């Protein structure tokens, strides 16, 4: 029986499929995994189920080489089929309790809570392993986002013992107020995958998170 992975404070990297082909994405993913990240999330909204299975399988094998949990975005059945370490669910996706019933207790389940404290409360009640708050800043990844404040992160940490992930437009230049508010992990996409030097970018983030 597997043991549910421990969520370590650090960088939560989400895959970028708009500007990179998959071979480029794999190459950069290997670099950041070697450098050291806490979680990698596979998120390809435009692929069909066969492509998602192929791509996620490659990334899962890569993640396991570096003992880093792979989180599948929005697809409980794919997470189950691959035996991935976790699934991340958005506002309109399968409820946490239904996902837990399907996946079992050894899989991480994260919930997007946007700027909604009530959604955080419900996620905790249903047994989520982490909650994501954002968007903290404007982002090129999503056309429609809801602005969240660092104060919401602080409110969550004051009320619940659950890891909080901050997401949305986060860079090494703007992340310190979020970390000071209590965020445990920073979720990033373009600031790593589209960086001129992903390895150096991850190192910079890791230094800031550890400071």
Set 142, 157, 203, 204: catalytic member? 142
Judge whether 142 counts as a catalytic residue.
Answer: yes
The answer to whether residues 158 and 150 touch, using CB atoms and an 8 Å cutoff, is no
Judge whether 2 counts as a catalytic residue.
Answer: no
DSSP 8-state secondary structure symbol assigned to residue 4 = P
Beta-strand relationship, 108-114 and 130-133: parallel
Q: Which tokens sit at 199?
A: 């390895």
Identify each DSSP E strand in 119-210 by its residue range. Answer: 130-133, 164-167, 185-188
Set 29, 38, 112, 191: catalytic member? 112
Judge whether 43 counts as a catalytic residue.
Answer: yes
Q: How many residues does the chain have?
A: 211
Set 29, 43, 52, 100: catalytic member? 43
Question: Whole-angstrom Cα distance, residue 42 to residue 32?
Answer: 14
Q: Which of 84, 124, 78 is nearest to 106 (CA)?
A: 84
The answer to whether residues 184 and 167 touch, using CB atoms and an 8 Å cutoff, is no
Catalytic positions: 43, 112, 142
């Amino acid at each position: 029986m597997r043991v549910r992975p421990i969520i370590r404070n650090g960088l939560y990297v989400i895959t970028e499929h708009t500007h990179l082909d998959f071979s480029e994405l794999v190459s950069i993913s290997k670099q950041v995994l070697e450098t050291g990240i806490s979680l990698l999330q596979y998120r390809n909204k435009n692929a069909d189920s066969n492509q998602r299975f192929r791509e996620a399988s490659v990334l899962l094998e890569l993640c396991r080489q570096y003992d880093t949990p792979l989180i599948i975005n929005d697809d409980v059945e794919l997470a189950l089929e691959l035996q991935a370490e976790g699934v991340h669910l958005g506002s309109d996706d399968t409820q946490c309790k239904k996902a837990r019933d399907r996946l079992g207790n050894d899989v991480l389940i994260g919930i997007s809570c946007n700027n909604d404290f009530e959604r955080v409360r419900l996620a905790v009640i249903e047994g989520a392993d982490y909650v994501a708050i954002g968007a903290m800043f404007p982002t090129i990844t999503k056309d429609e986002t809801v602005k969240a404040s660092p104060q919401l992160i602080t409110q969550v940490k004051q009320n619940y013992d659950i890891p909080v992930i901050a997401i949305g437009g986060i860079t090494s230049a703007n992340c310190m107020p979020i970390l000071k508010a209590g965020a445990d992990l920073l979720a990033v996409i373009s600031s790593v995958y589209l960086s001129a030097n992903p390895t150096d970018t991850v190192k910079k983030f890791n230094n800031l998170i550890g400071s």
